[in-house]
Amino acid sequence: MPTATRSHSNTGVGGRPRRLAFPEQALATVLHLRVALAAEPLAVLFGSSRTAMHRPLLKTRRLLKAHGIVIPPATTPPVVLVALQARVLAQTSEPSNKIKATC
């Protein structure tokens, strides 16, 4: 049974981060396995939290293993990955992505 996707993203509005649809989970897992992106940068890219990203990564990796599908790591990172990593680092260092204190 497909999982419903929440319509809001984790943009500081409050509430739980959105759940990823299965295609997003699959893409995140491929990026994780192929180019070794960790859960936190993936969460930034997909507008979710690290925890909300970690769960689907585990689930999808188990599904791949159960079906005997192996996604080997890239031997050399693609040039595009360097730009992607820079973008993620820029987004994670922006003040709007930091936890805000309540006063």
Helix (H) or strand (E) holding 62: helix 50-66
List per-residue pLDDT tens for the chain, 103 residues long. 344 444 444 444 566 666 889 999 999 999 999 988 889 889 888 888 888 899 999 999 999 999 999 999 988 767 777 777 788 778 776 655 444 455 5
CA distance 84 to 80: 6
Burial of 78: CB neighbours in 10 Å, binned 0-12, 13-18, 19+: exposed
Output the CA torsion sign for 47, 53, 57, 59: negative
